[in-house]
């Protein structure tokens, strides 16, 4: 699937929905719960969350892969975990602020 910043995607395995914050050039295989994600307005058949891809997504958190150049923002939480193909995406946590001694 060709992605672009601002595009909305939804999972076909659970309730997860995301917005693309940063997208790499070219085709990319974005999955949630082990199943391919589709455009938000697409009426794709529902699957189920596969074992190994069931860590869940957290509302308002970003998931990214620096080496692949992708960043997704979760707008609706679900039971499936986000992945590129079979490699799960890491949750991008906030950077700690420097101490104010």
What digits encode the pLDDT tens for the residues 39-95? 999 988 888 999 999 999 999 999 999 999 999 999 999 999 999 999 999 999 888
Cα–Cα distance between 6 and 42 in angstroms, integer? Answer: 16
Write down the pLDDT at residue 98: 87
Neighbouring C-alpha atoms within 13 Å toward the C-beta of 75 = 14
Domain boundaries, the chain: 8-92
Banded pLDDT at 21 (limits 50, 70, 90): very high
**The model's pTM:** 0.88
pLDDT band at 14 (very low <50, low <70, confident <90, very high): very high
What does the pLDDT look like over 25-42, one tens digit per residue?
999 999 999 999 999 999
Query: Would you say residue 99 has pLDDT above 90?
Result: no
> For residue 76, which of 34, 40, 24 has the smallest C-alpha distance?
40
């Amino acid at each position: 699937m060709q992605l672009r910043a601002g595009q909305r995607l939804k999972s076909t395995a659970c309730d997860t929905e995301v917005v693309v914050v940063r997208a790499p050039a070219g085709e990319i295989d974005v999955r949630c719960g082990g199943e391919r994600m589709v455009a938000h307005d697409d009426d794709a058949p529902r699957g189920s969350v596969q074992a190994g891809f069931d860590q869940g997504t957290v509302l308002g958190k970003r998931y990214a892969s620096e080496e692949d150049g992708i960043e997704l923002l979760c707008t609706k939480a679900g039971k499936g975990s986000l992945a590129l193909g079979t490699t799960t995406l890491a949750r991008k946590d906030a950077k700690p602020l420097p101490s104010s001694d």
